[in-house]
Structure 1
């Protein structure tokens, strides 16, 4: 198992979120970006130090699909679609998608952390309040050869945080 930390830095008046490994080496960074048919305020890109670029955006919602969010992902020019599971998305965050030959699922666990699965195998957990109060991502070593999937997990955390903000208001109404 490997651990990564999310660290915010300001580089020439621009905020950048770096992803660092156990040795404090940067493995990539996250920035705001723009993607066609996606909400500008909810679109991010992850650029790995190995050169892989992953972009993830929340697809603009129309009235008919307000209850189910869709996410457009672009990995080095190839586009994929992830979407929430209808019905389950009202209780917990759960997003599924197909990446070439792999089926990927990202969901909230009972502790409120985000977990990722590839082909039904647990591959990563993201904890918001890890040791030292930082966001920590723990991954299986199998993810080392999958920079696109790694990037999706990093970026999906932002969508998970958005989901939590939106459902918090609904939960307050139901109390």
Structure 2
């Protein structure tokens, strides 16, 4: 049985032949991301692959395993970007920034925006202590695992506290 390991030349060939197909696939799947973000995610994935093949020539047993690995890692990187983007949007709303960078056209809209921010902040402050802490940390960009380690809870408990807190906030501002 002949084992062909993936090396830098194989990766370069893959980049020229297969990467454009994967790039188009990712752009179709993740339309909420910019083309530049998707290209960056793919390039980062290939850089990681190059580093791993330099550390261990047999890391990828065959070219097809390399291709599958690149696709999975690229998809996960794109999903991470979407999650980060979502958390930043939520944090901007709570911190008083213009949601999705839209500026109010007149004083009435500015007043409505300020009132909404005030309602959200008041709703957060009315949450039970643990839920309030989880929601604030989540909106500051902390991951579920990081919050769990900080407060001594499992990721499932943190996820529940975050979702119940957000649900209470949305019910309070309706």
* TM-score bucket (shorter structure): under 0.3
**Structure with greater proportional helix content:** 2
Bigger RCO of structures 1 and 2 (CA < 8 A, at least 6 apart): 2
Higher-Rg member (1/2):
2
TM-score if structure 2 supplies the norm length? 0.28
**Structure with greater proportional strand content:** 1
